[in-house]
């Protein structure tokens, strides 16, 4: 009988040997918890994201206290804005008394060392449901960037530690960096959504915020899912404009892009396991088709293996708990 001289299974024979060459690891410090907020009372369920809720500011505090206990050190906020505060210019996005600045002030006064990130984009505030201002059916770039700068400065004034532009307008990272610096917020970091794809996986998120585009799609600013080289171009621009960290989104279906960006930059790389990725896992697990704990941790380690330093995930709290239990 011919037999193999090389037997990779010798390196998998038991837990100790397996641990010698385990290459990726994950801890709660790698996880960022996205939270949805609303201006009303209590918690509102989100049908397509079971286990996630829109939180009032009081409930936001409760949720963050619990997340801290789970080991979560950073959160990112997404607001549900009522229709009467939406407009074609998204002016509510830079209202210093708006929902997001209010939320940031509240949580930073209670949890000073929590890293609070805020989303910079107009879609929650836009009556057109687009990330920028629409004129004659076109999402206009430079006018939008001017508003995004006001939004970012407003969030920084409220105490945001990092701003995360998710709008995909050209030139916004540099413009926001300048605006923050001029306003005296040189310490506020920018997590750039660098390679953000025009993805169907955002559906549940848009349900959560009632932020779907009222016409058309986002393909004139978000990237074509077929493209990899374009991600490198966006990376070069965002790095050159002063991004402190760069993001790939979605995460699971775009591991090749994460790996490519990881290889091309010395900046921290983030990946966003988006609402659709969450919803798919939740749906399969609710039917008993997948083991939730195992599949969630596998999905996250795969994103880390591809090269992500931090992961934005709706599973952050559960994952942090599971990781602690198995540590």
Angle between helix 57-70 and 316-326 (nearest 10): 20
Task: Examine residue 131 and tell whether it contacts ligand PBG (CB under 6 A).
Answer: yes
Task: Tell me the CB-side half-sphere exposure of residue 322, using CA atoms within 13 A.
Answer: 16
Among 63, 123, 238, 239, binds ligand PBG (CB under 6 A): 123
Q: Is the peptide bond before 262 cis (omega within 30 degrees of 0)?
A: no
Min CB(235)–ligand PBG separation in Å: 19
Of the candidate spans 82-90, 118-126, 223-231, 240-248, the one that interacts with ligand PBG by CB under 6 A turns out to be 118-126
Among 144, 155, 166, 313, binds ligand PBG (CB under 6 A): 166
Helical residues (DSSP H) of 78-171, grouped into ranges = 99-110, 141-158
Helical residues (DSSP H) of the chain, grouped into ranges = 15-20, 57-70, 99-110, 141-158, 172-182, 203-209, 229-241, 255-264, 275-286, 292-306, 316-326
**Which position's Cβ is nearest ligand PBG?**
205
Min CB(167)–ligand PBG separation in Å: 6
Distance between CA atoms of residues 27 and 316, nearest Å: 10
Task: Examine residue 205 and tell whether it contacts ligand PBG (CB under 6 A).
Answer: yes
Task: Examine residue 64 and tell whether it contacts ligand PBG (CB under 6 A).
Answer: no
Strand-pairing partners, residue 74, are 115
Among 275, 299, 307, 323, binds ligand PBG (CB under 6 A): 275
Q: Mask: binding to ligand PBG, 209-228, rule CB under 6 A, as x and -?
A: ---------x----------
Among 64, 274, 279, 303, binds ligand PBG (CB under 6 A): 274
Q: Is 44 exposed, middle or buried (0-12, 13-18, 19+ CB in 10 A)?
A: middle
Distance between CA atoms of residues 82 and 7, nearest Å: 61
- Rg (C-alpha) for the chain, rounded Å, is 20
Task: Examine residue 108 and tell whether it contacts ligand PBG (CB under 6 A).
Answer: no
Nearer to ligand PBG, 50 or 264 (CB): 50
Distance between CA atoms of residues 47 and 282, nearest Å: 12
Min CB(192)–ligand PBG separation in Å: 13
Of the candidate spans 14-22, 87-95, 117-125, 286-294, the one that interacts with ligand PBG by CB under 6 A turns out to be 117-125
Note the residues at the interface with ligand PBG (CB under 6 A). 119, 121, 123, 131, 166-167, 202, 205-206, 218, 274-275
């Amino acid at each position: 009988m011919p037999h193999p001289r090389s037997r990779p299974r010798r390196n998998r024979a038991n837990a100790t040997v397996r641990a010698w060459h385990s290459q990726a690891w994950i801890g709660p410090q790698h996880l960022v918890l996205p939270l949805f907020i609303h201006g009303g009372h209590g918690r509102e369920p989100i049908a397509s994201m079971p286990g996630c809720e829109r939180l009032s500011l009081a409930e936001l505090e409760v949720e963050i206290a619990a997340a801290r206990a789970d080991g979560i050190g950073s959160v990112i906020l997404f607001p549900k804005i009522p229709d009467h505060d939406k407009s074609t210019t998204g002016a509510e996005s830079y209202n210093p008394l708006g929902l997001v600045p209010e939320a940031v002030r509240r949580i930073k006064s209670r949890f000073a060392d929590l890293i609070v990130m805020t989303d910079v984009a107009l879609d929650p505030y836009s009556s057109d449901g687009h990330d920028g201002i629409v004129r004659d059916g076109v999402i206009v770039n430079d006018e939008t960037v001017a508003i995004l700068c006001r939004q970012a400065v407003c969030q920084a004034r409220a105490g945001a530690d990092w701003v995360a532009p998710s709008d995909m307008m050209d030139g916004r990272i540099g413009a926001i960096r300048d605006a923050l610096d001029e306003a005296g917020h040189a310490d506020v970091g920018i997590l750039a959504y660098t390679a953000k794809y025009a993805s169907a996986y955002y559906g549940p998120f848009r349900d959560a915020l009632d932020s779907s585009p009222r016409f058309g799609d986002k393909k004139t600013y978000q990237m074509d899912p077929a493209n990899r080289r374009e991600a490198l171009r966006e990376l070069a621009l965002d790095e050159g404009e002063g991004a402190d960290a760069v993001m790939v989104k979605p995460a699971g279906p775009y591991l090749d892009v994460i790996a490519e960006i990881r290889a091309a930059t010395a900046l921290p790389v983030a990946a966003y396991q988006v609402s659709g990725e969450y919803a798919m896992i939740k749906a399969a697990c609710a039917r008993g088709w997948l083991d939730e704990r195992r599949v969630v941790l596998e999905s996250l380690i795969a994103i880390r293996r591809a090269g992500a330093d931090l992961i934005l995930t709706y599973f952050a709290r559960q994952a942090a708990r599971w990781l602690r239990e198995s540590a």
